[in-house]
Amino acid sequence: MERLNRTLLTEWAYARPYASSQERTDALPAWLHTYNHHRAHTALGGRPPISRTPVNNLPGHYN
């Protein structure tokens, strides 16, 4: 969990200047999609987390 928090800070929250907190919040769903579907994770052998997710976890449902 600590690794996720650090990644959130460096790759989403402070990756670029946002005009407002709302703009930052609006950018989160796209970032989560990239993180879960496209970003290589070393702990998963370079695969994204979606490759390890059960079929019943539909795209767009991050809970």
User: Which one-letter amino acid corresponds to residue 18?
Assistant: Y
Number of domains observed in the structure of the chain: 1
Assigned domain for 8 exists: no
Assigned domain for 59 exists: no
pLDDT tens figures, 3-61: 889 999 999 999 999 999 999 999 999 999 999 999 999 888 999 988 886 655 566 66
Assigned domain for 40 exists: yes
pLDDT, position 22? 98
Assigned domain for 37 exists: yes
Q: Round to whole Å and give the CA distance between 3 and 26.
A: 22
Assigned domain for 47 exists: yes
Helix, strand, coil share (%) of the chain residues, nearest 5: 55, 5, 40
Assigned domain for 4 exists: no
Q: State which residues form the domain around 46.
A: 21-54
Structure tokens that stand for 20 in this block = 């407002």
User: Which one-letter amino acid corresponds to residue 40?
Assistant: A
| Sign of CA pseudo-dihedral 29, 27, 41, 43 | negative
